[in-house]
Amino acid sequence: MTTSPATDQADTRADEAAVRALLAEEAEAMRTRDAELAVARYATDAMIFDLAPPLGRRGHAAAGVRAWLAGFDGPVTIETTELEVTVGGDLAFAHGLRRMSAVPAGAAEGFSFWYRATTCLRRMQGRWRVVHEHTSTPFHMDGSFRAATDLQP
Amino acid sequence: MTTSPATDQADTRADEAAVRALLAEEAEAMRTRDAELAVARYATDAMIFDLAPPLGRRGHAAAGVRAWLAGFDGPVTIETTELEVTVGGDLAFAHGLRRMSAVPAGAAEGFSFWYRATTCLRRMQGRWRVVHEHTSTPFHMDGSFRAATDLQP
């Protein structure tokens, strides 16, 4: 295998763009309430550390996303900031902050909060796939054990 | 660059062992209350998404760990389970569940809870360094917004 540094750099830029496009599917899927699109980028056995319990679970199924979306009226808006993507060979990882805004089903008013998202990807049969994702808020270590849903980037 | 598949596999196994050894420093540093060891594996500008606010911060300083350790009497015990490490080229990532057990300074009794840990690493000048770490508990989405510190793997 022989590649020039210039080719390597161009490949890395293309890979980073591909990973960023894949991560952008999240906002699009939530905006359009498309459960199939929401899970399309995940490997079958991806390990998910989600905002809500349990600690971790294997796989990200469209049925689960559909049930979750049913809890909200209209589009769920995801905004991302401070996204950093690192790629090398057939691995990549990304971290950033996301704001979710939504209106609970039947509610008069919506809510929004910022959380952290870390995504780990692997190129499998030529396609980037999410093999691990970790989303969370911190919690207040003041004895209240409240989730810190009031933080700003 | 020419390598045989057998050499590649041996390299990957050696890299995975190196990353696992590096991650094991966390438990050793907490057990011995060694703030310098606790931060030695982090890149200077590592992005940390910690258990406590803020959402994220740059770098992991020994002074911060020292102040944090002062809040506890005796060793802080970290147990890790379900650790999975992926390496490829000069990138690696790992995820697993950790249980922290500690006794608050001056308290009669200790506490323990399970949390999730995701670590992203990069080989820099031949040494593996943590460039991103994300630790968290989920939170109960039942309206209470309590951190879920009562979960078991």
* Domain of residue B119, CATH code: 3.10.450.50
In a domain, A152, yes or no: no
Angstrom CA distances, A41 to A118, A119, A124, B134, stand at: 14, 11, 11, 21
Return the CA Rg of chain B.
17
Q: What is the pLDDT of residue A2?
A: 52
Size of interface A-B (CB pairs under 8 A): 154
Lowest mean pLDDT of B23-27, B38-42, B74-78, B139-143, name the range.
B139-143
Tens of pLDDT, residue by residue over A82-95, are: 999 999 999 999 99
Inter-chain CB proximity B89 and A90 less than 8 Å: yes
Q: What is the pLDDT of residue A53?
A: 96
Cβ neighbours of B53 in A, within 8 Å: 138, 140, 148, 151
In a domain, A37, yes or no: yes
Nearest residue of B to residue A84 by CA position?
Answer: B47
At residue A6, does pLDDT exceed 80? no
Q: What residues form DSSP beta bridges with A123?
A: A128
DSSP secondary structure of chain A: ----HHHHHHHHHHHHHHHHHHHHHHHHHHHTT-HHHHHTTEEEEEEEE-SSSSS-EE---HHHHHHHHTTEEEEEEEEEEEEEEEEETTEEEEEEEEEEEEEETT-SS-EEEEEEEEEEEEEETTEEEEEEEEEE--B-TTTT-BB--S---
At residue A25, does pLDDT exceed 90? yes
At residue A1, does pLDDT exceed 70? no
At residue B1, does pLDDT exceed 80? no
Tens of pLDDT, residue by residue over B94-123, are: 999 999 999 999 999 999 999 999 999 999
Cβ neighbours of B141 in A, within 8 Å: 51-52
A138 closest CB neighbour out of B89, B132, B136: B136
Domain that holds residue A102: 5-136
Inter-chain CB proximity B55 and A138 less than 8 Å: yes
Mean pLDDT throughout B144-149?
Answer: 92
In a domain, B48, yes or no: yes
**Å from B24 to nearest chain A CA?**
21
Angstrom CA distances, A124 to A43, A58, B107, stand at: 9, 18, 51
At residue B128, does pLDDT exceed 60? yes
A1 closest CB neighbour out of B1, B116, B140: B1
Give pTM, 2 decimals: 0.95
What is the average pLDDT score of chain A? 94
Residue A82 half-sphere exposure, CB side, CA atoms within 13 Å?
A: 19
In a domain, A18, yes or no: yes
Q: What is the pLDDT of residue B87?
A: 97
Domains of chain B: total: 1
What is the average pLDDT score of chain B? 94
Global ipTM? 0.94
